[in-house]
Amino acid sequence: MRICVVAGPGPGPARLAPVDDAGAPAGPRRDVPGPDALAAAVRGAPSDVRWVWADTPRTYPAVLAAGARVERCHDVGLTEALLLGAEGRWGEPRSLAAAWARLTGGPVPPDPEPPLPAALGPGGDPDGGVQDALFDAVDVPAAPAALPPGTDPLDVLVAVHADQQRRVAAARAVSPGFTLLVAAESASALAAVEMSAAGLPWRADLHDAVLVEALGPRAPHGGRPPRLQALAEEVARLLGDPRLNPDSPPDVLRALRRAGVLVSSTRRHELRGVDHPAVGPLLQYKELSRLHTANGWAWREQWVRDGRFRPEYVPGGVVSGRWASRGGGALQIPKAVRGAVVADPGRVLVVADAGQLEPRVLAALSADPGMVAATQAGDLYTEIATRALGRTDARAEAKIALLSAMYGGGAGSAAPALAALRRRFPAALELLEEAARTGEDGGAVRSVLGRTSPAAAPGWLDGLGPEAAGGRARARGRFTRNFVVQASAADWAGVLVAGLRTRLAALGERPDDARLVFFQHDEVVLEVREELAAAAVGAVTDAGSEATRLVLPGTGVRVPLEAAVVRSYAEKG
C-alpha cells in the first residue's frame, strides 16, 4: 500500500490519498490538520506503507520533528530525475509541476533551483572528465515550481506517481535493478533528512585547539590569523611584491613569472616541481588558508549549532549518483579537524568504509575471473600487483595504473603496469574501453542498477575542427569510462544506507539510540549508545553483505566493510 501526501514545509494541513502499488486509488482521501496529525498518521499506519510525496526535504522534516519516523517513501522528484535519465532526457526539469506538464502536454516549467552539479559543459559534454569532488554545494531552492492555476495538487501527485510506476516498469525491462535504484534513492533522501536533524557531534573546544595550533589565535574582524599573515608576508617578500595577495591565483601567477618561474597554474602538483624559495611557504599558505576558509571559526559559527554539525545533504546530487551537500563542505571533512568529532558521553562512534570499492565494483561488472578472484584479498591493490606484475612491492604501481584505467588519465610512468593489467585482466580493462568508446561516440552508459549518464546533444561536435572535436570526444570518453564504475559504486552505497538505517532503527528503543550521523561516498559514521556498539557493528556488516548481494548478485566479488568502534572520528585514521 502507498499513501500520497501533499503537505507544505510549514505547519499547514496535509492531504492524504491511498493508492495501490500501481498508483491506482485504493481508498478514501482524508485531510489532517498539520504536522502533528500527519506524524500520528505515520505512526498509525502499517510499517510496510510507502509514503509518496513530491520532495522529501520539504515534507519529511516536519514529520520527523513531530516524532514520527517514516520507514519507506517514494520521492517523486528523485524518481523523475532517474526516469528522465533512463529515457534519454537527462537534465530536463524534474519537479512535480514539470512531470505533470509532460504528462498532460502543457508547457514545462523550469526547476526553481539551478541544475545540480553534473561536471558537464555545453550540450551535455563533460568538461574535463569526472569532477564530482569539486561540486559540494548547491543553492537551496526558494519554492517548488508552481502548478497551473485550478489544478488540485493531490490529483496531480496521484497521477504523476501512477505514470512513474508505469515508466519504472519500462525502465526495468532494460535495467532489471531499476526498481531497487528508485527505492534506494528515496531511502537515501529519508536518511539525509535524519542525518541533518541529528547532526554530527562537534566539540568547539577541540576544534579551537586545532585551529590555534595550526593558525595562531583568531584574528579580529575576520582577518588573517598570525601564521597565515606571516606566510603571506614571506611569500610577498620572496617574490619581490609587497602588495601580493596570495589568495589571488592570477596575482601569484604573475609574480611567479616575474620571478622567472614559468608555470601555467598555481595548483599544488605543478608548484611542487618548482625550485624557488617562495614555493615552500606558498604551498604552506595554501594548505592553511583552505583550513581557515573551509573549516575555520567562521565556518563553525555558520554550521555548528548546539554542539552538532548540521549540513543539508543532497542524495544523487551529482551526475554519478554520489551525494552533494548544500553548504558546509559536509563531504570533505579533512583529517586535520576530525579530532573535533567526538561522541557524546555514554555513546561511541562506529566508523566503517568499503575498502577499495570502485575496483571491486569493476571486477563485478566485468566478471573478469582474475580480478574477481583478487577481490577475496584484504588489500586488492597488493593482490593485483602480485597477479599482474609478479611483485607484492609493486602495490603503488598497480594502484596508479588501475586508477588511470578507471579515470582515463594519461598513463605516463604507469604505462608498463597498465599494459600488464590489460594482459592479466582483459575483461575488466575492455569494459572500461567499451564505455569510453560509447562516450566518444556521444552515447550514454548505465550503472549496474540503471542510472544513466547524459548522452551528447545533437550536433555536439558541429563547427569544431579535428583537434577540438577529438579533445571533446576524449573528454566524454573519460567521463563515461568512469561513470559505469563510480555510478555503480554509488548504487551499492545507496543500498547500503537504505539497509543500514532500517537495521539501526530496530536496535534501540529511541531513535537516537543508534543512528547514522555522517555519510560520504563509501564511508558511514554511526553514533550509538555504548552498550549497542557490538550490535551496530553487526548491523554494518549485515547491511554491507546485503548491498553486495542485491547490487552485485552472483558475481563472487567480496566488498569488505570493516567497522571500528571509536570515541573520536580521528581515531579511525
Give the 3-state DSSP-derived string for 20-44, with helices as H, strands as E and coil as C. CCCCCECCCCEEECCHHHHHHHHHH
Among the listed residues 214, 254, 154, 193, the one whose alpha carbon sits nearest the alpha carbon of residue 65:
193
pLDDT at 221: 83
pLDDT at 68: 95
DSSP symbol at 182:
H
Strands 50-53 and 2-7: parallel
pLDDT at 10: 77
The secondary structure of the chain in percent helix, strand, coil, rounded to multiples of 5, reads 50, 10, 35
Cell, residue 324: 552533494
pLDDT at 573: 67
Cell, residue 91: 537534465
Cα-flanking dihedrals φ and ψ of residue 566, to 5°?
-140, 165
d(CA 286, CA 518): 27
184 within 8 A of 502, measured Cβ to Cβ: no
CA separation (Å) from 553 to 177, 240, 365, 449, 488? 11, 62, 10, 11, 13
216-267 pLDDT, tens digit per residue, is: 999 988 889 999 999 999 999 999 999 999 999 999 999 999 999 888 888 8
pLDDT at 134: 31
Cα-flanking dihedrals φ and ψ of residue 326, to 5°?
-95, 90
pLDDT at 184: 98
Among the listed residues 502, 124, 560, the one whose alpha carbon sits nearest the alpha carbon of residue 355:
560
CA separation (Å) from 138 to 323, 436, 521, 543? 11, 29, 17, 30
DSSP symbol at 388:
I
383 within 8 A of 408, measured Cβ to Cβ: no
CA separation (Å) from 381 to 123, 371, 465, 556? 37, 10, 41, 18
List b or e across 445-457, with b for residues whose CB sees 16 or more CB atoms inside 10 angstroms. Answer: bbbbbbbbbbbbe
CA neighbours within 13 Å on the CB side: how many for 82? 34
Q: What are the strands of the beta sheet with 72-75, ordered from one edge?
A: 30-32, 14-19, 2-7, 50-53, 72-75
pLDDT at 141: 42
500 within 8 A of 523, measured Cβ to Cβ: no
Give me the average pLDDT of each 10-residue run along the chain (573 residues): 90 93 95 94 94 95 95 97 95 92 93 50 34 35 73 97 98 97 98 96 96 95 92 95 93 92 86 89 94 94 94 90 83 89 97 94 97 94 94 92 86 79 96 96 97 93 93 94 96 97 94 94 95 97 97 96 95 81
74 within 8 A of 52, measured Cβ to Cβ: yes
pLDDT at 328: 75
Strands 72-75 and 50-53: parallel
pLDDT at 139: 35
pLDDT at 12: 83
**Residue 406, amino acid:** M
d(CA 303, CA 554): 43
